[in-house]
Structure 1
Amino acid sequence: MNQPPDSSAFSQLLEEDTEELYENAPCAYLSTLPDGTIIKVNATFLEWTGYARTALVGQKRFQALLPVAGKVFYDTHVGPLLIMQGFVRELAFELVCENGQRMPVLLNSVLKRDAAGNPLLIRTTILDARSRRAYEEELRRAKRKAEEAEAAVRQLAEELECRVQQRTQERDRIWRISQDILAVAALDGTFHSFNPAFTRILGWSEEDLPALSALGLVEPDHLPQLRQVLERLSAGDPVERVDLPLRHKASGYRWLSMAIRPEGDALYIVGRDITEERKQAEVVRKMEDALRQAQKMDAIGKLTGGVAHDFNNILQVIAGNLELMRLEFAGDARAGHRLQQARFAVDRGAKLASQLLSFARRQPLQPVPTNLGRVVRELDDLLRRALGASVEIETIVAGGLWTVSLDRNQLENALLNLAVNARDAMNGEGKLTIELGNAVLDENYAQQHPDVDPGQYVMLAVSDTGSGIPPEVAEQIFEPFFTTKPEGKGTGLGLSMVHGFVKQSGGHIKVYSEVGLGTTFRIYLPRVLESEAREPDVRGKPADGGAETILIVEDDQAVQATTVEMLSSLGYKVLKAVDGQSALSILQSGIQIDLLFTDVVMPGPLRSTDLARKAQAILPDIAVLFTSGYTQSAIVHGGRLDAGVELISKPYRREDLARKVRHVLDKAKTAAPKKPGDDVSTPESSRLRILVVEDNPDSQHMLCELLGVLGHSARGVSSAESALDALRSEAFDVLLTDVGLPGKSGVELAREAVEGHPSLRIIFSSGCGGIKEDGLAALCLPKPYNLERVMDVLARSAKQP
């Protein structure tokens, strides 16, 4: 059994243990006398501060170690009060270390007294406040952040509330002022609400709710498309874009491009009106189609024109020889039958070439002001014979029919083509209606048909009760060589010829057809403000000849030979030339020639039109007749023969040639004789040598021609430099120059010209007034000019000093 330790020994152990705990405690201990003298410190204090024990014990340094605490404990005012209390609890101070750094600490002090109650010593426990201060600082920081966060949340909530209000206001504003349709609908398409734009675009108002549904507004042909869209939306799939026509409350449909988003049981719709965009896109598409068609027509026209000239020359040789053989074998019925069959073949070839030229708009037209009602009535018998007794023909002509300008022969061919096609569509039995009336095609119609100019037209409609034309076929009916007839029954050029003739005449053609109900072709020809010209129809006249002298200009020897023989057989005296230059020599020889019969396309530098002009200058009473298989642009401009030009197209029959030659000769003979004073020629003594300076070839040629008609000698050049060269090599009386020239201007040219030729008269061909500058006096010939203006300015020029 263990014995208890000796009390004195135990007390000693306890004292040693207490000392050890004091010395090595985790906190610092410091004991001082009431006056601040340090009497004891432990190792922790020395470790924290870096002081040596000997530097502290016995020293009065408490106030140096804890300056603020020293004041608290030993200040003459505060200290006694604290001492009287006998303790201090966790006051925060800073401990000054040996190296001068300061360490945050907490002080717990106890005042010990003696038996008499007098202060004996102060025992101070010092705690390291660094971690605690950091913790407290963190708490304060966290609290501050929490307060800041709370304030931020409050501010954010206020801002969100403000934004919600702003967005609500903005949404309401957008709802009101949006140019696009905004609507909310049920999944079945029934509208719950919509904005004012819905009313503005489609005409429906909120009073029409709730019975209004997209299914009831969509155009019926697009109803299946809308149902598919609603199925997608019901499945939760948004629709980024769908274009649909919706019915306007008043009339018609408006196209909307819509984006639709489903949310729950509602559909949110944004729709933009694209009706005008679609119209414009349709116009652009039609313009592109028209451009492609024009390019195709141009290509075909060039190909056709190149072939037609040689092809018609070949046909002319064949036709001419057949005509001559028919005369030789007049009593041989068998030979006559064969010759007739050959003539029919030539006619078919000529018709084929003519149809190709008509389709390509290269057929030379001879338009005259015409009343279509009279032409249609005159064709009645021909149409009845062509269509047969089983086809009923009704003609409806409106009163007050306007005049149009067209080639009557080509119109008759076009109308006959349409009538024969109608007969075939009716299988030879039915009703054909020909209707004539005035019409106005407005801007809206012109926008839908880019090839149409808005204005006044005369409408010619040809309707049948036939089988009709399917839509896919109707798109191709005007294409060359397209036909639905069996092989050998049609060339596919009839309707393309009609189309080409109408377009070349400045008109428009439209087809309307329903399968099983019939077809209507509507032709619109532009109105002209001229009275009808009753041109004589030479086709029914006798094929008489004559005794006049005819000069034939033809480079194709075979064509020339047959033409010479046909005209000779008609009694005419015939001269021949292979080109313009040789023909001019014959004209200048003094032989009396009554008719110049020339091909349009001629080899050599002298064009056929120039030859004709020179011929009429040499022989003022000479008649001129052109012929060609393809006229190009020598005598045809804008698809029409130049005014006063007579033309017979190759190939021609002997009878056709006889009638045309007789018509041209008689027309020249019956021309009104000139009255005194009508002669615009200039006396020899007054004739001027005029230098014309004009960079536009057509204007230059025309002006020189006008001056030549007046009897003056005119030379044309295209630049100031060429004019100065001409002035150095020739003598001129008048310089007639355009003001705007390439290089030097007309004014600069005139100044230089007058310096070298002081007597030279100056006339400016421009839109200016008279020019008088730096001694330069000039007259002005305003553009556009005519014969009278040219005569007037030359007369005034003669009066200049």
Structure 2
Amino acid sequence: MAGAVERCDEDPFPRPDGRTAWIRWEIRPWRQADGSIGGIIIFSEDVTARKEAMEAQRASDARYRTLFELAPEGIVVADADGHYIDANTAICRMLGYSRDELLQLHASDVAAPAEIPYIAPAFEAVTAGVDYARKWQLLRKDGSTFPAEVVAALLPDGNPMGMIRDVTEREETAKIARAAEERTRFALQSAHVGIWDLDCLTGAFRWSEILESQFGLQPGTFEGTFNAFVERVHPDDRESVRATFEKAEASGGDFSAQNRVVWPDGTTRWLRGVGRILLDERGTPVRGVGISLDITERLLLEQEFQQAQKMEAVGRLAGGVAHDFNNLLTVIMGYCELLLADVGQGDPRGVELLEIQKAGTRAAGLTRQLLAFSRKQIIEPTLLDLNQIALDLRAMLGRLIGEDIKVVLGLQPELGLVRADRGQVEQIVMNLAVNARDAMPNGGTLAIETANVELDEHYSRTHVDVKAGHYVALTVTDTGTGMTPEVQARLFEPFFTTKEPGKGTGLGMATVYAIVARSGGSVGVYSEVGTGTAFKVYFPRADPAEVVVDAPAPSAEPMLARKPCSWLRTRRDFANWPGDSCSDWGTPY
């Protein structure tokens, strides 16, 4: 009969193949019938598999603990009620607690007050086996909070485990990046700079909203391909644009281009852009980035500035010529008067002298236009009502332009006053009316309109020497033949005319331009061939309480007085003027 176990142990034994076998053995006494020990019984069992499994478990537990403690993210294990039963070093450092302190807490103790209502649903989701992930605001021991990403899962023992990552630094970096991006976006939008990004491998072409607006498109309506971009380039510029991109893709690096684009409504705009094509290590283009700026207004300003400089130069020349010519004309007209006084009625020479006088009078008119154009003509600026001027001129215009042209007035009530010389304003209306008459050989309608308007900063940026503000607009419209863009481009150039030789001086529109510019205003034209032309003249609106009429400037054009002899004697041109002629005028020689 076997007795109780006397000894039990597990020992390793080498096997013939060199491996180790673990044997569990027991020694029990064998007793005889009288109770004495008759021998021993040895029981043995190969427990190698169990021993290896236990060693593997211990190694696994050690690895788990090492990973648990050394993990950079915080790790906590809680029971089903939310009380912490384990925590690693990282979460203790993150929350500011020791491990022993943390294991005395509940999940609600480390959550910001606003997060507490979400704790129970989170544990329910994890317990149900749902993969859980959410960003939380956690509460440190010192009362401060921080953002953390929490990922949780259910352990095999049924306890929830959460991995916690402090994302404070990441969110601060993202915040800084967003702020920098907002500043860049604001700067680009304020400067009206468009941005594009081209994926050379897929062909995807992305545009910013500013760039879409530069092409006359609504936000988000660009098709997103290079071909769609080229189709919106002006037909005359497409080849050069393609060549620029192809050259950049072949060599990489930066490039620049200036070209016209055509909006859906037919408007043409000028754009200037710079870009960069990025190549991979094999030299294949992979990406292109760039910016674009609408330079239409700048080009218009440059053209207007160049035109203004040209007009100024021609004006100085014309003013000098007109001044000297006017003096010579005074001599001619003076001698003509003397000769007419000497010839009797019926003398055939009188007819010839009258023709000379008529030619001199026409020359004097030309001189006045030159002086007006060169801004050397005497002006008397006063407060004027353009409505009243239009009404006063209506009858004269009817006789001037003929019965086959209908004159229509569209005058705004309570029109603002302007500060200008009445004679020059009338000259503007007459010059524009004569131009309209010549454009309507078969008759038509001439409309004269007035209105109070406000010119904004956009208009000011595209017109030299024009400030934004309140203006009075004088619009003269005809239903004539209209003008081509080429004619419109040269319309205000002095001595430019489309009329036949001898039928126009080319100073009418140049004079209008000079008078308006002198008053601080602006003149523009819109014309379509076969439809008609509209001139808009803007005069600064005057405040009657602030207007001070300028004193007349010294005369730039000497005129014959009623009794001119005292002045004539100082002129070398009249050195041989007969003394008795002056006596005829009642002035002693």
Relative to the length of structure 1, the TM-score reads: 0.41
Look up the match of 2:90. none
Structure 1 Cα separation of the partners of residues 451 and 400 of structure 2: 24
Look up the match of 1:672. none
Listed as ranges, the matches of 1:107-146 within 5 Å are none
AA of the residue aligned to 1:271: G
- 1:354 positional shift: 1.3
SS at match of 1:417: helix
Structure 1 Cα separation of the partners of residues 436 and 213 of structure 2: 45
SS at match of 2:452: strand
The answer as to 2:359 corresponding to 1:345 is yes
Structure 2 Cα separation of the partners of residues 278 and 357 of structure 1: 34
AA of the residue aligned to 1:311: L
Deviations along 1:315-347, one digit per CA (max 9) or x if unpaired, are 43145336635xx64x53966654543332121
1:272 aligned to which of 291, 300, 305: 291
The answer as to 2:237 corresponding to 1:222 is no
Structure 1 Cα separation of the partners of residues 383 and 230 of structure 2: 50
Give the conservation status (yes or no) of the 8 Å contact 1:256–1:273: yes
Look up the match of 2:327. 310
Give the conservation status (yes or no) of the 8 Å contact 2:196–2:211: no
Deviations along 1:346-387, one digit per CA (max 9) or x if unpaired, are 211111211221221211112222211111111112111111
Listed as ranges, the matches of 1:651-662 within 5 Å are none
The answer as to 2:309 corresponding to 1:291 is yes
The answer as to 2:249 corresponding to 1:259 is no
- 1:426 positional shift: 1.7
Give the conservation status (yes or no) of the 8 Å contact 2:311–2:494: no
Structure 1 Cα separation of the partners of residues 563 and 210 of structure 2: 80
AA of the residue aligned to 2:535: F
Look up the match of 1:494. 508
Listed as ranges, the matches of 1:113-512 within 5 Å are 181=195, 183-185=197-199, 190-191=204-205, 198-199=208-209, 202=212, 208=220, 211-216=223-228, 220-222=232-234, 225-226=237-238, 229=241, 237=250, 240-243=255-258, 255=271, 257-259=273-275, 261=277, 268-275=287-294, 279-280=297-298, 282-284=300-302, 286-305=304-323, 307-321=324-338, 324=341, 329=344, 331-332=345-346, 337-512=351-526
CA separation of 1:495/1:444 partners in 2, compared to 1, >3 Å: closer, same or farther?
same
AA of the residue aligned to 1:297: G
- 1:202 positional shift: 4.5
**Identity fraction in percent:** 28
Deviations along 1:95-120, one digit per CA (max 9) or x if unpaired, are xxxxxxxxxxxxxxxxxxxxxxxxxx
Give the conservation status (yes or no) of the 8 Å contact 1:203–1:248: no
Structure 1 Cα separation of the partners of residues 321 and 386 of structure 2: 33
AA of the residue aligned to 1:442: D
Structure 1 Cα separation of the partners of residues 222 and 410 of structure 2: 52
Structure 2 Cα separation of the partners of residues 436 and 402 of structure 1: 10
- 1:448 positional shift: 0.9
CA separation of 1:485/1:227 partners in 2, compared to 1, >3 Å: closer, same or farther?
closer
CA separation of 1:289/1:181 partners in 2, compared to 1, >3 Å: closer, same or farther?
same
Give the conservation status (yes or no) of the 8 Å contact 2:233–2:260: no
Structure 1 Cα separation of the partners of residues 581 and 370 of structure 2: 30
- 1:215 positional shift: 4.6
Structure 2 Cα separation of the partners of residues 488 and 267 of structure 1: 66
Deviations along 1:563-584, one digit per CA (max 9) or x if unpaired, are 9969966xxx6456xxxxxxxx
Give the conservation status (yes or no) of the 8 Å contact 1:217–1:246: no
AA of the residue aligned to 2:224: L
Structure 1 Cα separation of the partners of residues 291 and 204 of structure 2: 19
- 1:441 positional shift: 2.2
CA-based RMSD: 4.5
Look up the match of 1:637. none
CA separation of 1:362/1:377 partners in 2, compared to 1, >3 Å: closer, same or farther?
same
Structure 2 Cα separation of the partners of residues 435 and 423 of structure 1: 17
Structure 2 Cα separation of the partners of residues 512 and 209 of structure 1: 31
For structure 1, the 5+ residue unaligned runs are 1-168, 534-547, 577-801
Structure 1 Cα separation of the partners of residues 348 and 513 of structure 2: 41
Larger RCO of the pair (alpha carbons < 8 Å, separation 6+):
2
Deviations along 1:660-690, one digit per CA (max 9) or x if unpaired, are xxxxxxxxxxxxxxxxxxxxxxxxxxxxxxx
SS at match of 1:361: coil
- 1:224 positional shift: 6.5
Give the conservation status (yes or no) of the 8 Å contact 1:371–1:402: yes
Relative to the length of structure 2, the TM-score reads: 0.54
AA of the residue aligned to 2:288: I
Give the conservation status (yes or no) of the 8 Å contact 2:258–2:273: yes
For structure 2, the 5+ residue unaligned runs are 1-172, 186-193, 549-561
The answer as to 2:535 corresponding to 1:521 is yes
Deviations along 1:48-94, one digit per CA (max 9) or x if unpaired, are xxxxxxxxxxxxxxxxxxxxxxxxxxxxxxxxxxxxxxxxxxxxxxx
Give the conservation status (yes or no) of the 8 Å contact 2:233–2:262: no
Structure 1 Cα separation of the partners of residues 224 and 580 of structure 2: 85
- 1:476 positional shift: 1.9
Structure 2 Cα separation of the partners of residues 418 and 210 of structure 1: 44
Give the conservation status (yes or no) of the 8 Å contact 1:320–1:562: no
- 1:479 positional shift: 2.0
The total of aligned residue pairs comes to 379
AA of the residue aligned to 1:514: E
SS at match of 1:274: strand
Give the conservation status (yes or no) of the 8 Å contact 1:182–1:270: yes
SS at match of 2:473: strand
Deviations along 1:146-188, one digit per CA (max 9) or x if unpaired, are xxxxxxxxxxxxxxxxxxxxxxx99x96996765735234679
SS at match of 2:234: helix
Look up the match of 1:705. none
